[in-house]
Amino acid sequence: MYVEMRNIYKQYGNFRASDNVSFGIEKGKLAALLGPSGSGKTTLLRMIAGLENPNAGDIFIDGNRVNDIPAAKREIGFVFQSYALFRYMTVYDNIAFGLKVQKADKTYIKKRVTELIELIGLKGLEKRYPSQLSGGQRQRVGIARALAVEPKFIMCDEPISALDVSIQAQVVNLLIKLQREMGLTYLFISHDLSMVKHISDRVGVMYLGSFVELASNEVLYSSPKHPYTQALISAIPEADPDYESQKEKTKLEGEVPSPLNPPSGCKFRTRCKYATERCAQEPPVFREVEPDHFVACHLFDKDGEK
């Protein structure tokens, strides 16, 4: 595994934002996280980046435990939801920022930034300020800035959700092109189920701080097992004559419960049509129910009991 989290817990006061999360990404692959707002996706990324510390658990990058390594030394690129550029710096200076912090050689900085500007298709716009760019161009600068220091691992937190729909594909295509050309490993958060299906190798689904399902892209989209994942996947519009009836079958009732007062046992049970007494008492274990397919649900416990 290139990046691995083992038994991660993160507590904010009484509230648990990460509840025993274990998760790994192989080198050169793109892993995506799905899950409702507030399920703890951004918190996981911030812990991998070193912007937050877990209360318990270990984080490994390329085989090394990084819990005690400061953010600046973890060699991770971070592309945020809103472009988060320095408004008073030009395109050039925004991209050069990380290299200057590292005190890289001036000639090298010039060469690297020029190369990146070409790569993201913004040649000629070096001297512009963020306010003189379109949303898509700003996000390209954000991507170049993340890549400048040559990280091998890139995390993207909803990198396109603030962009106009018409340019979302361009930015995603740029990210994928860079991944292939540079052999990068990605962790991607998105609400766009179709996009995730299109770009990822592996998909994890979170709900109230825990993983409920993790599998390869193909398996997750073609045979989701957890009732929450089934509801998510069935909400993707498709040119399927049975779509409406299918959707009816897995329609999800109610809202995500307050994370401050999560349900006992399985945190999804209040919205699950299969919930039984056992689900209220015993939290399901996140386990491998088929090779490389992990699910946290009593429906898939080996003894067949509910």
H helices, E strands: number in the chain: 10, 12
Decide: is 204 part of the binding site for ligand ADP (CB under 6 A): no
Interacting residues with ligand ADP between 219 and 278 (CB under 6 A): 259
DSSP state of 211: E
Q: Which residues of 8-31 are buried (b: 16+ CB within 10 A; e: fewer)?
A: bebeeeeebbbbbbebebeeebbb
Residue 101 Cβ vs Mg ion, minimum distance, rounded to whole Å: 25
The first and second tokens of residue 298, run together, are 């009593």
Decide: is 42 part of the binding site for ligand ADP (CB under 6 A): yes
CB under 5 A: which stretch of 36-44, 173-181, 198-206, 251-259 binds Mg ion?
36-44
Pairing of strands 3-12, 15-25: antiparallel
CB under 5 A: which stretch of 8-16, 37-45, 246-254, 260-268 binds Mg ion?
37-45
Q: Kindly tell me which residue out of 3, 5, 8, 17 binds ligand ADP, with binding defined by CB under 6 A.
A: 17
Pairing of strands 293-296, 286-290: antiparallel
Decide: is 41 part of the binding site for ligand ADP (CB under 6 A): yes
- Residue 156 or 178: the one with the smaller Cβ distance to Mg ion is 156
Q: Which residue is nearest to Mg ion (CB)?
A: 42
Residue 282 Cβ vs ligand ADP, minimum distance, rounded to whole Å: 24
Give the full edge-to-edge strand order of the sheet including 64-65.
15-25, 3-12, 56-61, 64-65
The first and second tokens of residue 162, run together, are 């603030």
Decide: is 50 part of the binding site for ligand ADP (CB under 6 A): no
Decide: is 42 part of the binding site for Mg ion (CB under 5 A): yes
Query: Which positions lie near ligand ADP, rule CB under 6 A?
Result: 12, 17, 35, 37-43, 259
